[in-house]
Amino acid sequence: MNESVLDKFLRYVKIDTQSSEESETYPSTAKQFDLLRLLEKELKELGVRDVRIDKYGYVMATLPSNLAATDKAYGKVPAVGFVSHVDTSPSASGENVKAQVIQKYQGGDIVLPGDPSIVLRTSENPQLKENIGKTIVTTDGTTLLGADDKAGLAIIMTAVQSLMNDPKIPHGDIKIGFTPDEEVGAGTKYFDLKAFGAKFAYTVDGDVPGELNKETFSADSATITVHGRNIHPGSAKGIMVNSLRVMADIITRMPKDVAPETTEGYEPYIHPHVLKGEEEKTTLNILLRDFETSGLAVLKKRLEAIIAEVRPLHPKARIELQVTETYRNMREGCEKDPRVIDYMFEATKRAGFTPKWVPIRGGTDGSKLTAMGLPCPNIFTGGQNYHSKNEWASVWGMEKAVETVLHLVQIWVEKTRG
C-alpha cells in the first residue's frame, strides 16, 4: 500500500463510529468494530507482525526494531507506542459523512454545501490563514468530519506504511494501539498495558500543527437529579412538584464566568451539557474541569451551594448530586522521565516548526494511560473545531504530523546511541 495520508483519512471518515454515552456495552456501539477490523486488516496487509484485536475492540500491533546487532542502540531503545481512537463524538452525527476536499484553498469564509447556514469563518478560524494555497477537508455541514481522531489514525497508519516501505529509517520496537470509546471517557477501560508492551507512548489526537500537549484538565463528571411528583395538570394545584422548574432554577444559577464559552487557557469551568426530564424526574449531566486537581473540589462546592440555595424554594422536591472521577492531568506523569516530552519537542522542530506547549482543555486516552503508568503526551493532527459540523482538517498538518512521528522514532535511537 502506497497511499497518502489523505487517502487513508477519507476512507476512515466514511465509516460511522459514533460512540454512545447511554450504552452499557463495550464498546458502546458495535459499529466501531467496522473501523477497528479494517485497521487490523490494513496493518496485516502492510506486513506488520503481531497484529491482533481483542473482544473489547482494542487493536494492537508491533513493528520490531530494525537495528543491527552491531548498532550501539541495539536492544537498548525502549519500546515506544502510538495511540489513536476510532470513535467520534456523540455531539454530532457521524453517519454518511460527505467530506469536501478543497485543494489550493484561496482564503476567505467557506459556506458548507449541505447546509449553507454552516459557515467556516476566518474570524473564528485563524488557522485557515495558515492553509492558504494548501489542501483542507471540511464536512458538507450536515455531520461532523471525524478528524477527531481519524486524522490520528491516518497519521499513524501512514507513518507505519513509511517505516515498512523504507527499512533504512532506524527505529526500536514500535507499538501501535487503536482504541474505542475515547469520546465517552472509556477509551482505556480495558486497555492491557502489559499486552501493549510500550515503555513510553504518544497519543496522536491534538489539533493545531506545531502545538504539543503534556498536560490536560483534571476532570470529574457531576449529575444532578431532581425528583418531583407528577399528576394531571388539571388537578395539580398544591400537589404537583415539577422537577423541570426546579432544575431550571439550578441552571440559571450556574456561574456564567466559569463556563467553556467564557474561559480559556488554564481557567476552569462548570459545563452543563445534557439535560433530560419531565415533571417526575429531571437529570442534568455536568462537566467539571480544572488543571489543578484540587480545584475540582472547589467546583463541586459551588454546585452544592447552588443546590442549597434552591432547596428552600422547592421544599417538596428531592435534589441529589453525584460526582465521579473522569481523568487527571497527565503533566506530572509525563515529566517523570523528560525524554518522552523532550524528544517529541525535538521531532517537531525537525518537522519545521517552532514547537509550542499548549494545555489541552479536554482529555485524551493519554490522560488515563499516563495515570496507569505509561507516560503519554499528545501530538498534533491538523484537525480543527472538533465535535461539530464546522470541523475541518489541514492535510498539510496531517503530513507534518507524519514527519514528526518519523523523526521521533529516529530520535529515540539517536539519543540511546549517545
Q: Match 467557506 to its residue by C-alpha cell.
A: 110
CA torsion sign, 262 to 265 to 268 to 273?
positive
Cis peptide leading into residue 27 (ω within 30°): yes
| Other beta carbons less than 10 A from residue 38's beta carbon | 16
Q: Which of 87, 148, 173, 391 is catalytic?
A: 87
Strand 119-120 vs strand 110-111: parallel, antiparallel, or unpaired?
A: antiparallel
Query: Which amino acid appears at position 32 of this protein?
Result: Q
CA distance linking residue 67 with residue 277, whole number of Å: 60
* Angle at alpha carbon of residue 393, lines to 401 and 28, rounded to 5°: 90
CA distance linking residue 6 with residue 308, whole number of Å: 53
CA torsion sign, 57 to 340 to 184 to 357?
negative
Cβ atoms of 324 and 218 within 8 Å: the answer is no
> DSSP readout, 320-377?
EEEEEEEE---HHHHHSSTHHHHHHHHHHHHTT---EE--BSS--HHHHHHHTT----
Q: Residue 211: which region, alpha, beta or left (left: phi > 0; alpha: psi -120 to 50)?
A: beta
- Known catalytic residue at 87: yes
Q: Which of 16, 40, 182, 183 is catalytic?
A: 182
CA distances from 401 to 117, 153, 175 (A): 32, 11, 17
CA distance linking residue 203 with residue 330, whole number of Å: 12
CA torsion sign, 204 to 207 to 209 to 212?
negative
Grid coordinates given for 373: 503508568
Cβ partners under 8 Å of residue 349, min gap 6:
355
CA distance linking residue 131 with residue 213, whole number of Å: 22
Cβ atoms of 62 and 172 within 8 Å: the answer is no
- Known catalytic residue at 173: no
Grid coordinates given for 51: 497484529
Looking at the annotation, which residues are catalytic?
A: 87, 182
